[in-house]
């Protein structure tokens, strides 16, 4: 098959995916509340690249909720809108770019009821801009590092919060 991108060394048109997983000492219910229900209160905590965050649709976070974010990644400022594409309490939260081709998914797996949850985060850049294709390897590495940083930030934040709650009781 004829592929102009390959001939011009423009790189792949395949999605760029970063995935990471960790065990979080927290119930799936509490972890999903932190990630899903309280998304607009907590997102900037685990993703400090987000400079501005705004919920555009009224009411509680649910399927179809739309948000706007301004990010500063490696000195590059981007603004995008996203939509809650999957909202399954205790199981999965997926955000999909409305203005940009990305998808991020937070999947929860109950390991030990009320005590620990496996958190798997994946970020998919569904389309790489032509000008970025020669740098695809760097983009893939940055996305993989970002996925790992995301799960570690969430783990650290939620476990610290749980530790404070436990010591207060």
Query: For 12-164, which CATH class?
Result: alpha beta
CB-CB contact of 146 with 123 (8 Å): yes
Residue 10 has pLDDT above 60, yes or no: no
R_g over Cα of the chain = 17
Ranges 68-72, 145-149, 164-168: which has the least confidence: 164-168
SS3 90: coil
Query: Which is more confident, 65 or 141?
Result: 65
User: What's the CA gap between 144 and 125, in Å, rounded?
Assistant: 11
45: closest CA among 165, 150, 126, 166? 150
Where in the chain are the domains? 12-164
- Write out pLDDT tens, residues 42-89: 999 999 999 999 999 999 999 999 999 998 877 788 899 999 999 999
Q: What is the mean pLDDT of the chain?
A: 85
User: What's the CA gap between 102 and 94, in Å, rounded?
Assistant: 10
Residue 142 has pLDDT above 90, yes or no: no
- Write out pLDDT tens, residues 55-67: 999 999 999 999 9
User: What's the CA gap between 165 and 61, in Å, rounded?
Assistant: 24
Q: What is the pTM of this model?
A: 0.83
User: What's the CA gap between 150 and 29, in Å, rounded?
Assistant: 19
104: closest CA among 129, 89, 124? 124
């Amino acid at each position: 098959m004829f592929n102009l991108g390959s001939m011009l060394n423009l790189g792949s048109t395949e999605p760029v995916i970063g995935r990471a997983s960790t065990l979080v000492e927290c119930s799936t219910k509490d972890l999903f509340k932190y990630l899903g229900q309280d998304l607009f209160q907590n997102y900037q905590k685990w993703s400090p690249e987000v400079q501005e965050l705004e919920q555009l649709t009224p009411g509680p976070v649910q399927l179809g909720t739309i948000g706007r974010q301004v990010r500063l990644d490696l000195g590059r400022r981007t603004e995008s809108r996203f939509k809650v594409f999957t909202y399954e309490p205790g199981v999965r939260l997926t955000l999909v770019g409305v203005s940009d081709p990305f998808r991020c998914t937070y999947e929860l797996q109950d390991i030990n009821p009320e005590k620990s949850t496996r958190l798997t985060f994946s970020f998919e850049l569904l389309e790489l801009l032509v000008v970025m294709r020669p740098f695809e390897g760097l983009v893939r590495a940055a996305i993989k590092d970002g996925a790992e940083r995301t799960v570690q930030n969430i783990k650290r934040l939620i476990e610290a919060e749980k530790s404070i709650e436990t010591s207060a009781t």
